Protein backbone atom coordinates (compact mmCIF):
# COMPACT_ATOMS: atom_id res chain seq x y z
CA UNK A 1 0.00 0.00 0.00
CA UNK A 2 1.37 3.38 -0.95
CA UNK A 3 2.25 5.66 1.87
CA UNK A 4 2.36 9.43 1.87
CA UNK A 5 3.41 12.23 4.13
CA UNK A 6 0.95 14.43 5.93
CA UNK A 7 1.37 18.07 4.93
CA UNK A 8 1.05 20.48 7.82
CA UNK A 9 0.06 23.98 6.85
CA UNK A 10 2.35 26.53 8.40
CA UNK A 11 0.71 29.56 9.95
CA UNK A 12 1.81 32.79 8.31
CA UNK A 13 3.47 35.41 10.48
CA UNK A 14 2.16 38.94 10.90
CA UNK A 15 4.90 40.19 8.59
CA UNK A 16 4.07 37.61 5.90
CA UNK A 17 0.39 38.50 6.01
CA UNK A 18 1.12 42.23 5.76
CA UNK A 19 3.66 41.85 2.96
CA UNK A 20 1.33 39.65 0.91
CA UNK A 21 -1.70 41.90 1.41
CA UNK A 22 0.14 45.11 0.54
CA UNK A 23 1.54 43.49 -2.60
CA UNK A 24 -2.00 42.53 -3.62
CA UNK A 25 -1.47 38.77 -3.31
CA UNK A 26 -4.99 37.29 -3.63
CA UNK A 27 -4.11 34.09 -1.80
CA UNK A 28 -2.74 35.94 1.21
CA UNK A 29 -5.73 38.29 1.20
CA UNK A 30 -8.12 35.33 1.19
CA UNK A 31 -6.26 33.77 4.10
CA UNK A 32 -6.43 37.03 6.03
CA UNK A 33 -10.19 37.31 5.43
CA UNK A 34 -10.62 33.73 6.66
CA UNK A 35 -8.57 34.68 9.71
CA UNK A 36 -10.92 37.61 10.34
CA UNK A 37 -13.94 35.29 10.32
CA UNK A 38 -12.35 32.79 12.71
CA UNK A 39 -13.80 32.34 16.18
CA UNK A 40 -10.49 31.16 17.65
CA UNK A 41 -8.91 33.56 20.10
CA UNK A 42 -5.40 33.08 18.73
CA UNK A 43 -6.64 33.80 15.19
CA UNK A 44 -8.44 36.92 16.34
CA UNK A 45 -5.31 38.18 18.10
CA UNK A 46 -3.17 37.53 15.02
CA UNK A 47 -5.69 39.25 12.77
CA UNK A 48 -5.83 42.36 14.94
CA UNK A 49 -2.05 42.66 14.72
CA UNK A 50 -2.19 42.31 10.94
CA UNK A 51 -5.01 44.84 10.63
CA UNK A 52 -3.22 47.41 12.76
CA UNK A 53 -0.07 47.18 10.63
CA UNK A 54 -1.91 47.58 7.30
CA UNK A 55 -4.08 50.50 8.48
CA UNK A 56 -1.80 53.13 6.85
CA UNK A 57 -2.66 51.56 3.47
CA UNK A 58 -6.44 51.78 3.96
CA UNK A 59 -9.09 54.43 3.39
CA UNK A 60 -8.30 55.26 -0.24
CA UNK A 61 -11.19 53.48 -1.96
CA UNK A 62 -14.75 54.34 -2.88
CA UNK A 63 -17.07 52.09 -0.88
CA UNK A 64 -20.38 51.32 -2.59
CA UNK A 65 -23.25 49.51 -0.89
CA UNK A 66 -26.03 47.78 -2.83
CA UNK A 67 -29.20 46.40 -1.30
CA UNK A 68 -32.53 45.12 -2.62
CA UNK A 69 -34.80 42.12 -2.58
CA UNK A 70 -33.57 38.76 -3.93
CA UNK A 71 -34.05 38.63 -7.69
CA UNK A 72 -33.69 42.38 -8.12
CA UNK A 73 -30.58 41.80 -10.22
CA UNK A 74 -27.91 43.03 -7.82
CA UNK A 75 -25.26 40.50 -8.87
CA UNK A 76 -25.81 41.13 -12.58
CA UNK A 77 -25.54 44.86 -12.05
CA UNK A 78 -22.34 44.43 -10.03
CA UNK A 79 -20.80 42.23 -12.72
CA UNK A 80 -21.63 44.71 -15.50
CA UNK A 81 -20.55 47.75 -13.50
CA UNK A 82 -17.43 46.01 -12.19
CA UNK A 83 -16.36 45.03 -15.67
CA UNK A 84 -16.76 48.63 -16.87
CA UNK A 85 -14.86 50.00 -13.88
CA UNK A 86 -11.97 47.63 -14.55
CA UNK A 87 -12.00 48.83 -18.15
CA UNK A 88 -11.53 52.33 -16.76
CA UNK A 89 -8.43 51.22 -14.85
CA UNK A 90 -9.91 50.45 -11.44
CA UNK A 91 -9.30 47.49 -9.14
CA UNK A 92 -12.65 46.14 -7.93
CA UNK A 93 -13.37 44.06 -4.81
CA UNK A 94 -16.84 42.66 -4.19
CA UNK A 95 -17.88 41.56 -0.69
CA UNK A 96 -21.03 39.57 -1.37
CA UNK A 97 -22.83 38.65 1.82
CA UNK A 98 -24.81 35.47 1.21
CA UNK A 99 -27.53 33.81 3.30
CA UNK A 100 -26.03 31.31 5.72
CA UNK A 101 -26.67 27.60 5.62
CA UNK A 102 -28.50 26.44 8.72
CA UNK A 103 -26.46 23.23 8.58
CA UNK A 104 -22.90 24.35 7.85
CA UNK A 105 -23.08 28.08 8.55
CA UNK A 106 -21.43 28.74 5.18
CA UNK A 107 -22.61 30.73 2.16
CA UNK A 108 -25.50 29.22 0.25
CA UNK A 109 -25.54 31.18 -3.00
CA UNK A 110 -21.85 31.70 -3.73
CA UNK A 111 -21.70 34.94 -5.71
CA UNK A 112 -18.64 33.82 -7.66
CA UNK A 113 -20.95 31.51 -9.61
CA UNK A 114 -23.27 34.45 -10.32
CA UNK A 115 -20.44 36.76 -11.43
CA UNK A 116 -18.40 34.36 -13.53
CA UNK A 117 -17.10 36.97 -15.98
CA UNK A 118 -16.03 39.44 -13.29
CA UNK A 119 -14.46 36.79 -11.08
CA UNK A 120 -12.22 35.66 -13.93
CA UNK A 121 -10.60 39.09 -14.23
CA UNK A 122 -7.24 39.56 -12.48
CA UNK A 123 -8.23 43.10 -11.44
CA UNK A 124 -11.27 41.77 -9.54
CA UNK A 125 -11.64 40.01 -6.22
CA UNK A 126 -14.94 38.48 -5.11
CA UNK A 127 -15.47 37.20 -1.60
CA UNK A 128 -18.77 35.48 -0.73
CA UNK A 129 -19.25 35.54 3.04
CA UNK A 130 -22.01 33.97 5.14
CA UNK A 131 -24.20 36.50 6.92
CA UNK A 132 -24.38 34.23 9.96
CA UNK A 133 -26.52 35.64 12.76
CA UNK A 134 -25.58 39.28 12.22
CA UNK A 135 -28.29 41.85 11.61
CA UNK A 136 -28.83 43.89 8.48
CA UNK A 137 -27.72 41.15 6.11
CA UNK A 138 -24.09 41.99 6.71
CA UNK A 139 -21.37 39.54 7.68
CA UNK A 140 -19.89 40.24 11.09
CA UNK A 141 -16.45 41.12 9.71
CA UNK A 142 -17.41 43.09 6.61
CA UNK A 143 -15.84 46.28 7.94
CA UNK A 144 -12.51 44.54 8.49
CA UNK A 145 -12.80 42.94 5.06
CA UNK A 146 -13.20 46.38 3.48
CA UNK A 147 -9.99 47.59 5.13
CA UNK A 148 -8.02 44.52 4.02
CA UNK A 149 -9.19 44.92 0.42
CA UNK A 150 -8.17 48.58 0.49
CA UNK A 151 -4.74 47.66 1.83
CA UNK A 152 -4.44 45.17 -1.06
CA UNK A 153 -4.86 48.02 -3.54
CA UNK A 154 -8.54 47.83 -4.49
CA UNK A 155 -9.89 51.33 -5.07
CA UNK A 156 -13.53 50.29 -5.58
CA UNK A 157 -15.15 48.18 -2.84
CA UNK A 158 -18.70 46.96 -3.47
CA UNK A 159 -20.74 45.46 -0.63
CA UNK A 160 -23.79 43.47 -1.70
CA UNK A 161 -26.30 42.59 1.02
CA UNK A 162 -28.46 39.50 1.34
CA UNK A 163 -31.53 41.66 0.83
CA UNK A 164 -33.77 39.55 3.06
CA UNK A 165 -35.70 41.63 5.60
CA UNK A 166 -32.88 43.97 6.61
CA UNK A 167 -33.30 47.74 6.87
CA UNK A 168 -30.14 48.53 4.97
CA UNK A 169 -28.80 50.65 7.82
CA UNK A 170 -25.80 48.41 8.31
CA UNK A 171 -24.50 48.65 4.76
CA UNK A 172 -25.28 52.38 4.73
CA UNK A 173 -23.15 52.80 7.85
CA UNK A 174 -20.04 51.28 6.28
CA UNK A 175 -20.13 52.62 2.72
CA UNK A 176 -19.81 56.00 0.98
CA UNK A 177 -22.50 55.61 -1.70
CA UNK A 178 -25.62 53.56 -1.01
CA UNK A 179 -27.78 52.09 -3.80
CA UNK A 180 -31.27 50.61 -3.47
CA UNK A 181 -32.42 48.32 -6.28
CA UNK A 182 -36.12 47.96 -7.06
CA UNK A 183 -38.15 46.01 -9.61
CA UNK A 184 -41.18 47.14 -11.57
CA UNK A 185 -44.61 45.79 -10.71
CA UNK A 186 -43.68 44.49 -7.27
CA UNK A 187 -45.04 47.37 -5.21
CA UNK A 188 -41.48 48.02 -4.14
CA UNK A 189 -41.76 51.79 -4.39
CA UNK A 190 -44.32 52.01 -1.58
CA UNK A 191 -42.72 49.30 0.53
CA UNK A 192 -39.34 51.01 0.27
CA UNK A 193 -40.77 54.29 1.51
CA UNK A 194 -42.64 52.58 4.33
CA UNK A 195 -39.50 50.82 5.55
CA UNK A 196 -37.50 54.03 5.39
CA UNK A 197 -34.67 52.37 3.50
CA UNK A 198 -35.14 54.75 0.58
CA UNK A 199 -34.34 57.70 2.84
CA UNK A 200 -30.86 56.25 3.29
CA UNK A 201 -30.28 55.55 -0.40
CA UNK A 202 -28.17 58.00 -2.40
CA UNK A 203 -29.40 56.45 -5.63
CA UNK A 204 -32.49 54.34 -6.33
CA UNK A 205 -32.10 51.99 -9.30
CA UNK A 206 -35.21 50.64 -11.03
CA UNK A 207 -33.87 47.52 -12.67
CA UNK A 208 -34.94 45.43 -15.67
CA UNK A 209 -36.34 48.52 -17.39
CA UNK A 210 -36.52 47.04 -20.87
CA UNK A 211 -39.00 45.47 -23.30
CA UNK A 212 -42.49 45.29 -21.87
CA UNK A 213 -41.21 46.62 -18.57
CA UNK A 214 -39.93 49.89 -20.05
CA UNK A 215 -43.22 51.75 -19.71
CA UNK A 216 -43.87 50.32 -16.24
CA UNK A 217 -40.41 51.41 -15.15
CA UNK A 218 -41.01 54.95 -16.40
CA UNK A 219 -44.30 55.08 -14.49
CA UNK A 220 -42.62 53.75 -11.37
CA UNK A 221 -39.91 56.40 -11.67
CA UNK A 222 -42.52 59.17 -11.88
CA UNK A 223 -44.39 57.69 -8.93
CA UNK A 224 -41.26 57.62 -6.78
CA UNK A 225 -40.34 61.17 -7.79
CA UNK A 226 -43.78 62.35 -6.69
CA UNK A 227 -43.46 60.50 -3.39
CA UNK A 228 -40.11 62.10 -2.65
CA UNK A 229 -41.31 65.54 -3.69
CA UNK A 230 -43.86 65.20 -0.89
CA UNK A 231 -41.78 63.39 1.75
CA UNK A 232 -38.13 64.31 1.21
CA UNK A 233 -37.11 67.70 2.58
CA UNK A 234 -33.90 67.54 0.54
CA UNK A 235 -35.82 67.57 -2.74
CA UNK A 236 -35.67 65.08 -5.58
CA UNK A 237 -34.07 61.69 -5.04
CA UNK A 238 -31.60 60.44 -7.65
CA UNK A 239 -33.74 57.78 -9.36
CA UNK A 240 -32.38 55.93 -12.39
CA UNK A 241 -33.63 53.28 -14.78
CA UNK A 242 -31.35 50.34 -15.48
CA UNK A 243 -31.22 47.28 -17.69
CA UNK A 244 -28.44 44.76 -18.16
CA UNK A 245 -29.45 44.70 -21.83
CA UNK A 246 -28.58 48.38 -22.23
CA UNK A 247 -24.94 49.12 -21.45
CA UNK A 248 -25.46 52.88 -21.70
CA UNK A 249 -27.65 52.74 -18.60
CA UNK A 250 -24.86 51.10 -16.63
CA UNK A 251 -22.62 53.91 -17.84
CA UNK A 252 -25.18 56.48 -16.67
CA UNK A 253 -25.31 54.80 -13.26
CA UNK A 254 -21.52 54.91 -12.91
CA UNK A 255 -21.59 58.58 -13.89
CA UNK A 256 -24.22 59.22 -11.21
CA UNK A 257 -22.07 57.45 -8.60
CA UNK A 258 -19.03 59.48 -9.65
CA UNK A 259 -20.97 62.75 -9.49
CA UNK A 260 -22.37 61.81 -6.08
CA UNK A 261 -18.84 61.11 -4.81
CA UNK A 262 -17.59 64.47 -6.11
CA UNK A 263 -20.53 66.29 -4.52
CA UNK A 264 -19.91 64.65 -1.16
CA UNK A 265 -16.19 65.41 -1.34
CA UNK A 266 -16.82 69.10 -2.13
CA UNK A 267 -19.39 69.50 0.63
CA UNK A 268 -17.31 67.69 3.25
CA UNK A 269 -19.94 64.97 3.70
CA UNK A 270 -17.59 62.25 2.46
CA UNK A 271 -14.89 62.65 5.12
CA UNK A 272 -17.39 63.48 7.86
CA UNK A 273 -19.33 60.28 7.20
CA UNK A 274 -16.10 58.24 7.32
CA UNK A 275 -15.29 59.74 10.74
CA UNK A 276 -18.80 59.06 12.04
CA UNK A 277 -18.69 55.50 10.73
CA UNK A 278 -15.42 54.79 12.54
CA UNK A 279 -16.81 56.09 15.83
CA UNK A 280 -20.02 54.08 15.38
CA UNK A 281 -17.92 51.01 14.65
CA UNK A 282 -15.90 51.53 17.83
CA UNK A 283 -19.05 51.89 19.94
CA UNK A 284 -20.60 48.81 18.33
CA UNK A 285 -17.46 46.83 19.15
CA UNK A 286 -17.61 48.04 22.77
CA UNK A 287 -21.21 46.86 23.04
CA UNK A 288 -20.33 43.49 21.53
CA UNK A 289 -17.33 42.98 23.80
CA UNK A 290 -19.26 43.99 26.92
CA UNK A 291 -22.03 41.51 26.15
CA UNK A 292 -19.48 38.80 25.40
CA UNK A 293 -17.59 39.53 28.62
CA UNK A 294 -20.82 39.46 30.63
CA UNK A 295 -22.01 36.07 29.39
CA UNK A 296 -18.56 34.47 29.55
CA UNK A 297 -17.80 35.68 33.09
CA UNK A 298 -17.73 33.29 36.04
CA UNK A 299 -19.96 35.75 37.87
CA UNK A 300 -22.77 35.32 35.36
CA UNK A 301 -22.29 31.56 35.16
CA UNK A 302 -22.68 31.16 38.91
CA UNK A 303 -25.63 33.54 39.34
CA UNK A 304 -27.66 32.96 36.18
CA UNK A 305 -29.09 29.53 37.06
CA UNK A 306 -30.97 30.89 40.07
CA UNK A 307 -32.47 33.84 38.22
CA UNK A 308 -33.29 31.80 35.12
CA UNK A 309 -35.20 29.36 37.37
CA UNK A 310 -37.20 32.23 38.90
CA UNK A 311 -38.05 33.62 35.47
CA UNK A 312 -39.20 30.20 34.21
CA UNK A 313 -41.33 29.65 37.32
CA UNK A 314 -42.85 33.13 37.02
CA UNK A 315 -41.68 34.27 40.44
CA UNK A 316 -39.48 37.04 39.03
CA UNK A 317 -40.17 39.34 36.06
CA UNK A 318 -37.53 38.97 33.29
CA UNK A 319 -36.67 42.69 33.41
CA UNK A 320 -36.04 42.54 37.16
CA UNK A 321 -33.96 39.37 36.80
CA UNK A 322 -31.83 41.06 34.15
CA UNK A 323 -31.32 44.07 36.40
CA UNK A 324 -30.33 41.84 39.35
CA UNK A 325 -27.86 39.89 37.22
CA UNK A 326 -26.23 43.12 36.05
CA UNK A 327 -25.99 44.30 39.67
CA UNK A 328 -24.27 41.04 40.61
CA UNK A 329 -21.93 41.40 37.64
CA UNK A 330 -21.02 45.01 38.47
CA UNK A 331 -20.47 44.17 42.13
CA UNK A 332 -18.21 41.28 41.16
CA UNK A 333 -16.14 43.51 38.86
CA UNK A 334 -15.79 46.23 41.50
CA UNK A 335 -14.62 43.67 44.04
CA UNK A 336 -12.10 42.16 41.64
Of 55-64, 124-133, 251-260, give the lowest mean pLDDT range. 124-133
Q: Is residue 281's pLDDT more than 70?
A: yes
Residues 136-179: tens digit of each pLDDT: 334 568 899 999 999 999 999 999 987 644 546 788 889 999 99
CA distance 192 to 123: 34
For residue 331, pLDDT beyond 70 = yes
User: Which residues pair with residue 183 across a beta bridge?
Assistant: 207
How far does Cα 38 stand from its chain's mean position? 17
pLDDT tens column, 80-106? 999 999 999 999 999 987 654 333 344
* 47, containing H or E segment: helix 41-54
For 291, other C-beta atoms within 10 Å of its C-beta total 10
Confidence of residue 1 (pLDDT cuts 50, 70, 90): very low
pLDDT of residue 151: 97
The confidence score (pLDDT) of residue 105 equals 41
Decide if pLDDT at 9 tops 60: yes
Average pLDDT, the chain: 84
Q: Can you tell me whether residue 262 is helix, strand or coil? A: helix
CA dihedral 262, 80, 74, 185 (to 10 degrees): 100
Sheet holding 62-68, edge to edge: 124-130, 92-98, 156-160, 62-68, 177-183, 203-207, 238-241
Mean pLDDT, residues 268-292 taken together: 92
Residue 134 pLDDT? 47
Tell me if 163 sits within 8 A of 69, measured CB to CB: yes
pLDDT of the residue at 229: 73
- pLDDT at residue 310 in the model: 94
Across the range 118-146, mean pLDDT stands at 74
Distance (Å, whole) CA 213 – CA 2: 63
45-59, 169-183, 218-232, range with greatest mean pLDDT:
45-59
Handedness of CA 126, 127, 131, 134 (dihedral sign): negative
Q: How far is CA 22 from CA 37, 55, 119, in A?
A: 20, 10, 20
Strand segments, DSSP code E, in 102-192 are: 124-130, 156-160, 177-183
Q: Would you say how long the chain is, in residues?
A: 336
Contacts of residues 252-261 at CB distance under 8 Å and 24 or more positions apart, as own/partner, are: 253/77, 253/81, 253/203, 253/205, 254/81, 254/84, 254/85, 256/203, 257/62, 257/64, 257/177, 257/179, 257/203, 260/177, 260/202, 260/203, 261/62, 261/176, 261/177
Q: Does the pLDDT of residue 269 top 50, yes or no?
A: yes
pLDDT at position 7: 54
Q: Which helix (H) or strand (E) holds 65?
A: strand 62-68
In DSSP terms, 64 is beta-bridged to 158, 177
Output the pLDDT for position 55. 96
**Measured on CA atoms in the order 281, 283, 285, 291, is the torsion positive or negative?**
negative
At 133 the pLDDT is 45
Query: pLDDT tens digit string along 178-219?
Result: 999 888 766 655 565 556 777 788 999 999 888 888 888 898
Of 43-57, 93-107, 228-242, 302-316, the range with the lowest mean pLDDT is 93-107
Own/partner long-range contacts of 131-134 (Cβ < 8 Å, ≥24 apart): 131/97, 131/98, 131/99, 131/100, 131/162, 132/100, 132/105, 133/100, 134/170
Percent of the chain with pLDDT over 70: 81
251 pLDDT exceeds 90? yes
What pLDDT shows up at residue 195? 62
Nearest to 106 by CA among 79, 123, 128, 82: 128
pLDDT for position 103:
37
pLDDT at 97: 73
Confidence check: pLDDT of 20 > 80: yes
| Spatial CB neighbours of 160, under 8 Å, sequence gap ≥ 6 | 66, 67, 74, 75, 78, 94, 95, 96, 97, 111
pLDDT over 60 at 107, yes or no? no
Amino acid sequence: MATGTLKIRRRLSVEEYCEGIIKGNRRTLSKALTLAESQKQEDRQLFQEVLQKVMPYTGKSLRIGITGLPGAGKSTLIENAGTMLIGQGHQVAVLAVDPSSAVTGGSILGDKTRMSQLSSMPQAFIRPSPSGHSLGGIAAKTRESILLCEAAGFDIIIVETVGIGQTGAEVYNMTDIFLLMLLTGAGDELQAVKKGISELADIIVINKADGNNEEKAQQMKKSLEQIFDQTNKHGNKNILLHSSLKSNRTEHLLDAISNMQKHKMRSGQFLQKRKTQNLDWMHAEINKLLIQDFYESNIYQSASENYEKQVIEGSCPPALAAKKLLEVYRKGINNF
